[in-house]
Structure 1
Amino acid sequence: MKTSNTYHIPALLNETVDLLNVKPGKRFIDATLGGGGHSEEIVRKKGMLLGIDQDPEAVSFASERLKTFACPGLVPPKIVQSNFSRIDEVAKDVGFEKVDGILFDLGVSSHQLETAQRGFSFNQGPLDMRMDKTFSVTAKDLVNGLNEGELADLFLKLGEERLSQRYAKAICKERLIKPIATCNELSEIIVKEALPRGKFDRTHPATRVFQALRIAVNDELNSLKEALPKAVELLNKKGRLVLLSFHSLEDGIVKRFFLDQEEKGILKIITKKPITPSAEEVNLNPRARSAKLRAAEKIC
């Protein structure tokens, strides 16, 4: 059975909760519930919580975890399975029309990465990558269905992969023999192409390809763009919007949105530069190394 520490270790946990400015009885939305690490701290501080996640496994795990920390006299945490692009509808449905803080942790959980059947890792497992199994398109569909140019474009735009054309060509060559069905099959193709160019560092050469596929399968960037203005609408005056991103595409969207909202006099940026993990935290939790934390406060 997964424990809170094995399911997922949140990056920048204390810094994130501090920026949310949790106060007893105030309302907060964790739009990416995951393993419930951030939500647990909100509930511990007696904040009223709405947790949202599109992954049913995350919803199940976090629901059980948070039962332990429910405070007498406070409304129990409300947990809903949904994509955060529907944050406004979900909030209205459960009576959270106005809230004092909203958190988005945009990373993939350790549980998702380490569960082979989810298809997010480089190990043996189906080439899936769906956060929500009701989605119709899988990573396997994209890898075997897109032409070479489309694959290269995908890897470049959503993965920022410099070797996008090289990898796309290799994939198309391999799938002529048989369809690419598993994560390790795809990973091995990428590694084979990367190795002749020299040794690679601690970052696996297939990281950006897998990132691109995951983003495409789950429509992550469009969901984020759709969710951000809805989140601002839900905030009370002086409410906080806090976002934790793990790659430059997400961080760029957040940064530009904050700047636009500040220019319009709607938000005040709290973090002029993103907060990043200390060397000590990265040593304890290597997956936190690319985390960037940004926050803003609603001023009108």
Structure 2
Amino acid sequence: MTYRGRFAPSPTGSLHFGSLVAAVGSWLCARHAGGRWLVRMEDIDPPREVPGSAADILAALPAFGLLADEPVLFQSQRRAAYDAAFEQLQAGGHLFACWCSRSELAAAGGMHRDGVCVSPEDPQRPPAWRLRAPDIELAFDDALQGPQRQNLREAVGDFVIRRLDGLYSYQLACVVDDAYQGITEVVRGADLLDSTPRQIHLQRCLRLPTPRYLHLPLVLDAEGRKLSKSSQAVAVDPADPLPALRRALDFLGLPADAPAATPAELLAATSMRFNPGLLRQRSNAWDV
């Protein structure tokens, strides 16, 4: 099967350094494999979106030499596919309605397990829908982080598939769209390493293929916060892309000193010498 990778940003702000690292890492892995690199806009959560940021991100990527091989997929246009997956999960007995609030769950230990709600049914408001987390240990080999194991029941409990406002969760949308786009390897930041067992379980429930996974070092600020959640997450400058692109390559442990007049030239020179084994397992830190 032809390698198919992707970069899937959320439109919660302009392209920042952490997102650039993920985009560059996924692009290089796809090019090394002679495959295709796709872009998916994960605009599934309107309350969290920053107006105009989707367009800003899509305009910035070509300035850094990152050109998608197929048209961009927008999750906001995929509601029917998520509805179909939800119905399949419901028909398979994997889902249950839940009226538990966060405060109620926190008072009960903070974890929803075994399909047992701490809040009674409330016919006056719509429920959230959760997927039952079985008491099983899911294991997978991450291409950079190594062997991973997680007991879904103990680590995350029953998790939300559709929120009480009717919006679908990231976990469901990601799984459905990775299968729809034929993604064979997911290259993304290590902040999503913990989500992978939930996604593998969803893939099994929906009878979808499981891609390979590679989780890149996460860019953190000086206080240990993910850069996208940090006040220091200044947008990279598409008008002067080479400095940020060289820093991204250096962060990944890749040679960044090739002479190049444009980002495309620098990426081409890097891809000629690249293999995924060069990616750095490093302490997740960056002096922003």
TM-score band w.r.t. shorter chain: 0.3 to 0.5
Instruction: Determine which structure has greater relative contact order: mean sequence separation of CA pairs < 8 Å that are 6+ residues apart, divided by chain length.
Output: 2
Higher helix share: 1
Query: Normalised by the size of structure 1, how large is the TM-score?
Result: 0.33
